[in-house]
């Protein structure tokens, strides 16, 4: 039995382009509304500690403007927790964050940071927010997510997508096998399985064939494609790729 597959569109890089000039355009909220109009099931935005793309008021405006679930990505810090609780998004995805990284490089260290993360998962869950942990596709991380009582994990697809991009098929297959095994194992342990980072049409199609995957969160590629074909067309092509993949689910 395969579950329906949702597409969350990450609008961070609309804000990256806006911030290049410091004015109000292009507005990530406008992009979110256009994405929903084009078939996105939800909107994801990452309020980074250095505010390099999404700003605090973007989160508030997204929450007020959109009719679909808002997935608030954040590092587990007290300041972010306060903002998330005030925003009351549908979901929070806890991610590791380093100031020097260009993008989220790896998964959360749920095992090493168990005691630190526990109150975040607990408090957000008690406030009715669905908590997701962005993790490496490993059994250990999945077991830790179960113990900490996170209902959802997002499997980091970045290493796989990078291996595909640089043309390293051996590495790519090994990374994909880790994702496939993690999706099956995690779902078996009762976790809702999401996946994201670095996905394009081809990798999204392939990961969509994993029947346990319930949601993909995709940003950079879609915003880049929008330059050439428009956001609505990029989203509709992505949805098609996901449906093609899901039709191959085994
Ligand atoms: N999911 C998570 C948890 C992320 O941190 C990111 C990047 O912000 C994405 C998905 C989207 O990744 P990309 O922009 O590479 O599609």
Tell me the per-residue pLDDT of 14-66, one tens digit each, with 9 for 90 and over: 999 999 999 999 999 999 999 999 999 999 999 999 999 999 999 999 999 99
Is residue 199 within 6 Å of ligand 1 at its C-beta?
A: yes
Distance 247 CA to ligand 1 centre (A): 24
Structural domain boundaries in the chain:
6-246
Is 73 a catalytic site residue?
yes
Bridge-based pairing state of the strands 6-10 and 213-218? parallel
Is residue 225 within 6 Å of ligand 1 at its C-beta?
A: no
Is 165 a catalytic site residue?
no
Task: Report d(CA 118, CA 67) in Å as an integer.
Answer: 30
Task: Report d(CA 147, CA 122) in Å as an integer.
Answer: 12
Say what the pLDDT of residue 1 is. Answer: 52
Q: Could you say which of 13, 73, 175, 215 is catalytic?
A: 73
Is 46 a catalytic site residue?
yes
Look up the CATH number of domain 6-246.
Answer: 3.20.20.70
Per-residue CA distances from 138 to 65, 109, 188, 191 (Å):
37, 11, 14, 13
Task: Report d(CA 222, CA 120) in Å as an integer.
Answer: 30
Distance 46 CA to ligand 1 centre (A): 8
Say what the pLDDT of residue 98 is. Answer: 76
Q: Phi then psi for 131, rounded to 5 degrees? A: -100, 130
Distance 197 CA to ligand 1 centre (A): 4
Q: Do 104 and 96 form a contact (C-beta atoms < 8 A)? A: yes
Say what the pLDDT of residue 104 is. Answer: 72
By CB atoms closer than 10 A (0-12, 13-18, 19+), residue 37 is exposed
Positions in the chain short of pLDDT 50: none
Is residue 238 within 6 Å of ligand 1 at its C-beta?
A: no
Say what the pLDDT of residue 103 is. Answer: 72
Distance 209 CA to ligand 1 centre (A): 20
């Amino acid at each position: 039995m395969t579950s329906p597959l949702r597409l969350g569109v990450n609008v961070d890089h609309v804000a990256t382009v806006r911030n290049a000039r410091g004015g109000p355009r292009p507005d990530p909220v406008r992009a979110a509304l256009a994405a929903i109009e084009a078939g996105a099931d939800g909107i994801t935005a990452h309020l980074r500690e250095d505010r390099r793309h999404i700003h605090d008021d973007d989160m508030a405006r997204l929450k007020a403007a959109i009719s679909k679930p808002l997935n608030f990505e954040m590092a587990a810090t007290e300041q972010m927790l306060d903002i998330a609780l005030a925003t009351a998004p549908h979901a929070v995805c806890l991610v590791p964050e380093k100031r020097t990284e260009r993008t989220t490089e790896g998964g959360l260290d749920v095992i090493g940071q168990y005691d630190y993360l526990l109150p975040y998962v607990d408090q957000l869950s008690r406030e009715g927010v669905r908590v997701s942990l962005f993790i490496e596709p490993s059994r250990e991380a999945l077991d830790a997510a179960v113990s900490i009582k996170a209902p959802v994990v997002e499997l980091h697809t970045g290493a796989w997508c990078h291996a595909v991009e640089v043309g390293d098929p051996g590495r790519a297959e090994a990374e994909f096998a880790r994702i496939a095994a993690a999706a099956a194992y995690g779902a078996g342990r009762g976790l809702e399985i999401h996946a994201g980072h670095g996905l394009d049409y081809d990798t999204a199609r392939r990961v969509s064939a994993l029947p346990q995957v319930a949601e993909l969160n995709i940003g950079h590629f879609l915003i880049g494609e929008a330059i050439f074909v428009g956001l609505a067309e990029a989203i509709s092509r992505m949805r098609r790729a996901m449906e093609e993949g899901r039709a191959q689910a085994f």
